[in-house]
Structure 1
Amino acid sequence: MAVTLKAALLDSDKRGYVVDDLAKLVDEEVADKSGLSGGMIKTGYAAVKKIKPGIIWGAINTLLDEFVEALEPHWTAYNASPTGDFGAYLAAHAQPVSEALLGVTDRRAEKSNRQAITSVYSKLRPKGQENVIAALPRLGAVVEKHAQQ
């Protein structure tokens, strides 16, 4: 039987490496953005990282348990009949996977009492699903790398 994502990714000895790779994934996804909206994303991302270094790593670390919980059913389904790699599986199931992942950030934003965070999130959320779907192949590769170690 395949190892659960919780056991593989949240293990205290591996967690930091998982978060490092996911932070790198976010950097790569932002770097790949183009056009006017891509320029705005890059500018905003750079500003946030400059104002508060480590914020991306910290946010990923904080949300990792909930993201893993959202991905677990997809990992289980993938392992029931593995074809290709997990990134391809996620991309082939982009709608439900992206909704599950965005559900984590939606719930977190709803609970926030910090107006600045909720305001920025509400502006970025409409493009959120598109951006999450674009990142699914890379996300799958990171997850699979750590789940199979």
Structure 2
Amino acid sequence: MALTLKAALLDSDKRGFVVTDLENLVDEEVKDKSGLSGGVIKTGYAAVKKVKPGIIWGVIDTLLDEFVEALEPHWTAYSASPTGDFGAYLASHPQPVSEALLGVTDRRAQRSSRQAITSIYSKLRPKAQENVIEALPRLGRVVEKHSV
């Protein structure tokens, strides 16, 4: 395991691969949504990708440093006594991990001067924690893949 997530995931030679794998994770998570709210998420996600191709990759790349910083304490705790995989570890700590990750997007939304973004974010935010928690096992696998 790498000493830090920062060293493992933000390395200039690996960063693009990390971002691509995280974009694939988002695609998979959206694809797996079901029901009425899942349909809304899928429709909105497809519309955003159609209107601005590459936006998901770009957003992930922009936020990656802050997400890595938010995950670092959890990686450190996991690395101290690794049992199972990092995805299982994250899933076993859903509240603090999801709050740390959503803190990144909350701060970014608060700083945004674009009303459309803050409006959309405020509408999506109530379900965001549930969606992030559902994604933790996949997120852990992606992180672990790039940190060894």
Instruction: Tell me if TM exceeds 0.5.
Output: yes
Indicate how the Cα distance of structure 1 residues 59 and 30 shifts in structure 2: closer, same or farther if over 3 A, else same.
same
Q: Deviations along 1:75-126, whole A, 9 cap, x unmatched? A: 0000001110000000000100000000000000000000000000000000
Letter in 2 for 1:86: F
TM-score by length of 2: 0.99
1:141 corresponds to = 141
Correspondence for 1:74: 74
Is it true that 1:44 corresponds to 2:75 in the alignment? no
- Bigger drift between 65-74 and 1-10 goes to 1-10
For residues 59 and 4 of structure 1, the distance between their equivalents in structure 2, rounded to whole angstroms, comes to: 23
State the alpha-carbon separation in 2 of the partners of residues 3 and 82 from structure 1.
13
Q: Distance in 2 between matches of 1:121 and 1:54?
A: 19
Q: Which residue of 1 aligns with 2:92?
A: 92
Alpha-carbon deviation of 1:3? 1.8
Give SS of 2:37's match.
helix
Q: Which runs of 5+ in 2 are unaligned?
A: none
Q: Find the residue that maps to 2:113 and give its secondary structure.
A: coil
Q: Provide the rounded CA distance (Å) in 2 between the counterparts of 1:108 and 1:49.
A: 20
Taking structure 1 as the reference length, the TM-score comes to 0.98
What amino acid sits opposite 1:6 in the alignment? K
How much has 1:2 moved relative to structure 2?
Answer: 4.2
**Cα RMSD (Å):** 0.7
Partner of 1:23: 23
Partner SS for 1:64 = helix
What are the residue-to-residue correspondences of 1:2-21 with 2, within 5 Å? 2-21=2-21
- Which residue type is aligned with residue 64 of structure 1? L
Q: Whole-Å Cα distance in 2 between the matches of residues 2 and 27 of structure 1?
A: 27
CA contact (8 A) 1:2 1:79 kept: no
Matches of 1:82 and 1:4 in 2, distance apart? 14
Aligned residues: 148
Query: Hey, what's the Cα distance between the residues in 2 that align with 1:25 and 1:34?
Result: 16
Off by >6 Å, runs of 4+ in structure 1: none
Q: Which runs of 5+ in 1 are unaligned?
A: none
The amino acid that maps onto 1:110 is Q
Aligned to 1:61: 61
Q: Tell me, what secondary structure is at the counterpart of 1:72?
A: helix
Helix, strand or coil for the counterpart of 1:13? coil
| Amino acid paired to 2:95 | Q
